[in-house]
Chain A
Amino acid sequence: MHLADYLGLLHRSEGELADAFRTVARGHAEEPDVFHICERLAAQCDRHAAALRPFAERYGEEQEDEPERLHSDLFGDGVRSGGLGLLRDLHDLYLMASECDISWTMIGQGAQGARDTELLAVVDACEHETATQLAWLRTRMKQAAPQALVVA
């Protein structure tokens, strides 16, 4: 039974994504939409992590067995500056959110296998929010890319 591994992984990933959204929000506060939406999405990630916690405990979260290679150090030095910096930071957020996204898929599959309807309900409620986070990041990057890559 390795469901606990993925629950721990996602629990931690959501926490780190929340931190990263907040770092980007404050580091790019001069982009008001980025600031406000990243703050909002950070709170959403906090809620995801909180919703996962009881399941992580139920399935015996085992920290030492978690798969590593997370992007927790992506924002270790804070954000980058300028138009290209914004693009790169959003790009890194996208990678982190993708990590969460595919983890939700795995956990959804695990929950089906475990016949855990409560966990499935959490997955149903949260995974589309993560998908929307990805869609927003893609939308915002597409908007910023031509100016940042060609003009500025």
Chain B
Amino acid sequence: MRNNKSGVYGILDKFQRAAWFQLNNWPIRYKLIMHFLLISILPAICLGVLIAWATDNIIEKQVNDHTSQLIGNVNKSLEFYAGNLQNMTYFISFNPQIKRFLSSDVKQPESEVYDMKKFLQGFTTLYTEVAGILVVNAKGEYLSNEMYARSSRSLTEENWYKEAVEEKGIFKLIGHPSNRNVTTHVNYKDEDVVSVVRAILDPETQKVEGVVLIDLKLRVIAETVKDVRLGKSGYLTVIDDQGDSIYTPVHPIVSKLERAWIDEHPSGEFSKDIGGKQVQFIFRKSPFTNWTTVGVFSTKETVMEVREIRLYIICFIFVVCLLGIAASTYLSYTISKPIWQLMSFMRRAEDGNLSIRFKDVRQDEVGMLGRSFNAMLLQITKLIGLVEEEQRKKREAELRSLQAHIKPHFLYNTLDTIQWLSRKSGAHEVTEVVESLSRLFRIGLSKGNEIIPLEEEIAHIESYLKIQKTRYRDKLHYSLDIDPMLEGLYVLKVILQPIVENAIYHGIKERRGPGHIAIQAYLADERIQLEISDNGVGMSTEVLHQLRKSLGTYPQKSGMPSSQQPAPSLILPGDSQEELDTAKGYGIKNVQERIQLTYGASYGVHIDSEPGKGTKVTIYHPVIKRREAGRA
């Protein structure tokens, strides 16, 4: 069957059948554990993830803001230095001796040169960040303490000179100098300094009189910028407007910044994938220096704090997991354990150990359940006791009835012997009576069967009547009228005899002259009706009433055997009138009880009587076709 199921359905079916999928099949313990874990660990994890996410975002933003601020500050100090240098160039150009040097065509005397050099020395004394100052006039003559031309080539042909001229008196930072015909005495290399230039113009003619060149030590910028470290490996770098590096640290993440990345924006931030590493850039351009300070740091290791927070969160989740698991296990254990115990008690009770008791003083539901369980067991034990008692009684009754059957059997055998003896000796009457008596017993016993064919019951009553006829001779007449339709039907045995006996002893015998007993059997209303009518003395209304009542009071349904059950049938006939009255009813009641016990209250005995006119007893008996079917 299963093999016929193809692919998807099979899997789906299996899936649905999977034990773990069906929550209802889970042991209560696992359900509880699952529940506790869900409400302890899941929110913790969610909270952790949320916090991590939030702090990540917030810190990233703060880092960016912070970096932006730092860059702003760095730019400010750079501008401060640049501003100082600018002032210096102005200050130098204001000096009358320098002015003369720039404008006059005659060569300055030695003492004046000495003075000018002293004047320039003053700047380097005060501003130690200045590596050198060079003043060049339009003729290419120069003045400096620290710098001098390498060759005789005129300094006015230098790039920096031309740049300064182009700017028309505006201060200009030209970054690291290169290929200059100027060197410093103190061996500052090109990459050690940053050059600034400013052309000095004649205010009237706007003619370039000369250029002031100042070398700024890069160390000053480096110290300002180096002081700022972003995260673990982040750093600041400064590039000029050509994209050339002014300052780059020793181990940069990005060796060369592309000018295109920064473009024309004065400030901003972006991230790039460099060598498989996500790198964040934050930059700000200083409008004064035209330099752009760029913060470069790896986004992954943004800041230590994030990692630290993550560590704490993970520690927290771990602790919650440990506590949660322990707590959920313990809680589920405390809840499921008594249930398990109760269950095992019930199993043992199921296996038959009813003496077991749930011993726990707990006041919760399980305790209550336990006590109910104990009460139930008590009740069951009690009921079982009752059933046993009844069974014992029933058994005793059966034994008694067996004994009662054994005695008549012996009697019946003896009667048979007597019959043969009397036949031998020719006493026909005796033979006939004994034979009848013998048949009476045989049918009465009928091998212990409760239900016998109607014919046999009729034969039984006939034998009885024959015996009584022998005794009463002409005083007793009888007639039998059996509907042939009844052939093959079964009835309870010995239901006629007690009634006929009553009719003889209480009806016919009391009457004067011969009496007649008529027995009729027929089918009516789907029932067998057996009518026994006599023309005896009959009975008074009170007696009839009493008799009917005693027949009716008998419980119509056989309920559970109980000690309160009245047992009127155990009263035996005696000599007194009262006992006689009772005895009169005894046979009928016996029949009534037997029929009603076997077939129910809709069957039984009905009595009609009129004083002086006789009595008619009708037995209502169900139609029993087979012995087996009617067997109660």
Q: Is this pair of chains taken from one and the same complex?
A: no
